[in-house]
Structure 1
Amino acid sequence: MLEGVNVALGVTGSIAAVKVVELAHELRRQGAEVRGVLTESAQGIVHPWAVEFATDNEPITELTGAVEHVDLCGRDGWADVLLIAPCTANTVGKIAAAVDDSPVTTTATTAMGADVPVLIAPAMHEPMYDHPGVLDAIDRVESWGVDFVDPRIEEGKAKIATEAAIVTEVARETTPDSLAGEHVVVTAGATSEPIDPIRTITNRASGKTGRAIATACYVRGADVTLVHDGDDVPYADVRRAERAAEMRDAVLAAVDDGADALVSAAAISDFTVDAAESKIKSGEERSLTLRPAPKLIDAVREAHPDLPIVGFKAETGVEDAELVDEARRILDRAGLSFVVANDASVMGEDETRVLLVRGEGYAEFTGSKSELGAWVAAELAEVLGNV
C-alpha cells in the first residue's frame, strides 16, 4: 500500500507515543521508508533508540545547522508526507499559531509552506479534545489543507487511531486520487439465511476481498459505502445487511443516494428458506425447501441501467477457460463493466488468484487480497474515465 513512500513521523509528548514503535513497523510493513522526528517531551516517553530501531533511521531530536527540517520537508525534501502521531493539544495549538519551538512544529511549518501533505493523529484526554481552543485550532489547521485521523473516544480519552486507520490515511495522502469525487458502493463477505432463531445457511466468504477493494477505493479518493454483515470501518459509511434481501435493499438505497459505481464482491446467498419461528428440535431428520434468493445485480441493473457494475464469480474445480466463460455469461447478461472470477478455494485466505474478465479479453492476477483490491480500484478508475 505504501511502496516507495517516504514518511516523516513526528512524535509528541502524549502517552500514546508508546505506540509509535508498532506504528513505524506497520508503515514499513506496508512498504514505506520512515524517519522519526521527536519533541523533547516525546523523548521522555519513548527513547530515541526505540524509534531508531523501529524505523531503521536515526531520529531527529534537535535542529542544528544542518537544517534537518528543510532536508526532511522542504520543497526539495526527502518526505512525501509528514505524519504527526501522536499529536498533543499543545502541538496542534502551536501549529495553528505557527509557533516553531520544537523539531516537530518547525518541521510542520516547513512542510505546510512547501506543500508537503501533513496528516495529524491527535491523542489526549477527552476534555482537552473538547476544549473550544483545541477545536478551533483543529478547524484552523484543517482549513489550511491539513488532514486529521480522528481519535477513538473511549474511557474518557481521545485515544490515537489504530495503526490500520493511520496507515490507510497515509496511503490516501500519497496515492493519486483517481477516484476523487466518485461514490463507490462495495459489498463484502457472506450473507446468511436463518433456518430458525438460532441456525443459518451461509458460506465460507470472509469479506477480505470486499474490504480490500473498499479500502483501495477510499485510498484513491472515493467516498465509499460498504454493505456487509460486519463491523464499522473508519474509511467507509457502513450499512449492515445479514440476509440476501437485506443486502439487495441496502445496496439499492445506497445506489439511489447517488452512487457512481457498484462493486458486488459479496458472496450473496443463492437460496433462502422459510425460517421456523422457534428452534427446530435436534435429533431427527429435516427437509428444507430452498427458494432462489433475489439477485442483487439484476435488481440494481433494472433500477439503474447505466450504472457501472463490477461483478464477482466463484466456481469450483473448473479450468480457466470454463471460469472465463462463466464470468463472461454474467458480464453479458447484466451489462457489467468487468467480472473478477476465481476458484472458491481461496475463500478466507490472504492470498488469491483471479481472472479479471473485461470485454473480449481477460487478465490473471496472483497476490494478496490487499493487492487485488488496488488492482480492482485501478481498473474501476479506468472504467469511470479517470485515468
Structure 2
Amino acid sequence: MLEGVNVALGVSGSIAAVKTVELAHELRRRGASVRAVMTDSARHIIHPWSLEFATENDVVTEITGGVEHVELCGYDGWADVLLIAPATANTVGKIAGAVDDTPVTTCATTALGADTPVVIAPAMHEPMYDHPGVLEAIETLDDWGVAFVDPRIEEGKAKIASEEAIVCETARAAGERPLASEHVVVTSGATSEPIDPVRVLTNRSSGRMGRAVARACYVRGADVTLVHGVVGPHSLQRSSPVAGLSGGDSGVALPYASVEQVETAAELLEATLEACSTADALVSAAAIGDYTLEPSAEKLRSGAERTLDLEPTAKVIDEVRDRHPDLPIVGFKAETTGDDEAMIEAARKTLERADLTFVVANDASVMGSDRTRALLVHAENAARYEGTKAGLSGEIADSIAVVLTDESSR
C-alpha cells in the first residue's frame, strides 16, 4: 500500500505519542520509509531513541543549520507526505496560524508551502477537540487540502485513530488518485440463511478479498460503500479478528468505506441495489449463497432425518444489470476444479451472461487465506495473478480506474 513512499512522521506532545513506535512499524510493514520529527513536549513522553529504533533513521528534534524542515518537506524534499500523529490542539492551531516554534510545526509550514501532502491525526481530550478555535483551525486546514484522520471519541477523549485508518489516509494522500470523485460499491463476505433460530446455511467466505478491494479503491481516491455479509466458518488457525464484522453488528465502522452490514442474500441484494443507484462501478466479491429456505420458528430437534426445501436465490449481478444497463461490474467466480481452462470457461459464461467488465476467477481453496491465485478474465484475454489478496485488490482497483477513465473520455 505504501511501497516506495517516504513518510515524515511528526510527533507532538499528546500521550498518544506512546503509540507512534508501533505506528512507525506498521507504516514500514506496508512498504514506507519513515523519518520522525518530534516536538520538545513529545520527547517528555517518548524518547527519540524509540523512534530511531522503529524507523531505523535519525530523529529530528531541533531545526539546525542543516535546515531539516526544508530537506524533509521543502521543494524536492525527501518526504512524499508529512503525517502528524498524534497532533495536539496546540499543534493544530499553530499549523493553521503558520506559527513555527517546534520542529513539527516548522515542517508543516514548509510542507504546505511546497505542496507536499499533509495528513493530521488529532489526539486530545474531547473538550479541547470541541473548542471553537480548534474546530476553526481544522476547517481552515481542511480548506487548504490537509487530510484529517478523525479521532475515536471515547471516555471523554478524542483518541488517536487506529493504525489502519492512519495508514489508509496516508496512502490516499501520498499516492495517485485515479478514482477521485468516483463512487465504488463493493460486496463482500458470506451470506447466511436461517434454518431455525439456531442454525444457518452459509459458506466459508471470510470477506478478506472484498475488504481488500474496498481499501484499494479508497486509497486511489474513491468513495466506497461496502455491503458486507457475515464472516464464514474457519478453523481457529485460519481465522483472524475483524472488528465489527463477526455478524449481527449494525454499528460497523471501517476507515475506508461506508459499511452496510447484511446477513441474507435478499438483504445483500436490497442493499446493493440501493447503493448502486449512485454508483460508478460495482465489484461483486461477496460469496452469495445459491439457496435459501423458509426458516422454522422453533428450533428443529436433532436426531431425526430431515429434508430441507431449498429455493434458489436471486443473482445479484443480474438484478443490478437489469436496473443499471451501463454500470461497470466486476464479478467473481469461485471454482473447485483447480483447472485454469475450466475456470476461464466458467468465468466467460458469467461475463457474457451479465455483460460484466471482467471476472476474477479463483479456486475456492483460497477462502479465508491472505494469499490467492486468480485469473482476471476479460472478453478477449485472461491474466494470471498469484500473490496476496492486497496485491490482487490493487490490480482490480487499477483496472476499474482505467475503465472509468475510458468511459469519461468518450
Match of 2:295 in 1: 275
Aligned match for 1:237, one of 232, 253, 258: 258
The equivalences for 1:65-144 within 5 A come to: 65-144=65-144
The equivalences for 1:280-319 within 5 A come to: 280-319=300-339
Match of 1:356 in 2: 376
TM-score by length of 1: 0.98
Identity over aligned pairs, percent: 66
Structure 2: stretches of 5+ with no match in the other structure: 230-244, 246-251
Match of 2:193 in 1: 193
TM-score by length of 2: 0.93
User: For residues 216-265 of structure 1, what are the alpha-carbon distances to aligned partners after superposition, in whole Å with 9 as ceiling and x for unaligned?
Assistant: 00111111110013332121111111100110010001111x11110000
User: For residues 105-144 of structure 1, what are the alpha-carbon distances to aligned partners after superposition, in whole Å with 9 as ceiling and x for unaligned?
Assistant: 0000000000000000000111111111111111111111
Secondary structure in 2 aligned to 1:91? helix
The equivalences for 1:367-386 within 5 A come to: 367-385=387-405
Tell me how far apart the structure 2 counterparts of residues 115 and 99 of structure 1 sit (CA, whole Å).
18
Match of 2:249 in 1: none
Secondary structure in 1 aligned to 2:317? helix
Q: In the TM superposition, what is the alpha-carbon distance from 1:318 to its structure 2 partner?
A: 3.5
The one-letter code of the counterpart of 1:111 is A
| CA-based RMSD | 0.9
Match of 1:224 in 2: 224
Tell me how far apart the structure 1 counterparts of residues 52 and 338 of structure 2 sit (CA, whole Å).
51
Secondary structure in 2 aligned to 1:226? strand
The equivalences for 1:319-358 within 5 A come to: 319-358=339-378
Which has the larger displacement, 321-330 or 281-290? 281-290
Retained in 1: the 8 A contact 2:164–2:255?
A: no
The one-letter code of the counterpart of 1:56 is E
The one-letter code of the counterpart of 2:193 is E
Which has the larger displacement, 339-348 or 168-177? 168-177
The one-letter code of the counterpart of 1:376 is I
Tell me how far apart the structure 1 counterparts of residues 161 and 123 of structure 2 sit (CA, whole Å).
8
Secondary structure in 2 aligned to 1:186? strand
User: For residues 272-318 of structure 1, what are the alpha-carbon distances to aligned partners after superposition, in whole Å with 9 as ceiling and x for unaligned?
Assistant: 01100111112222211111011101100111111110000001024
Secondary structure in 2 aligned to 1:2? coil
Secondary structure in 2 aligned to 1:384? helix
Tell me how far apart the structure 2 counterparts of residues 245 and 90 of structure 1 sit (CA, whole Å).
50
Tell me how far apart the structure 2 counterparts of residues 197 and 296 of structure 1 sit (CA, whole Å).
26
Tell me how far apart the structure 2 counterparts of residues 292 and 330 of structure 1 sit (CA, whole Å).
17
Aligned length: 386
Retained in 1: the 8 A contact 2:12–2:91?
A: yes
Q: In the TM superposition, what is the alpha-carbon distance from 1:385 to its structure 2 partner?
A: 2.1
Tell me how far apart the structure 1 counterparts of residues 312 and 338 of structure 2 sit (CA, whole Å).
24
> Given the alignment of the two structures, is residue 252 of structure 1 paired with residue 276 of structure 2, yes or no?
no
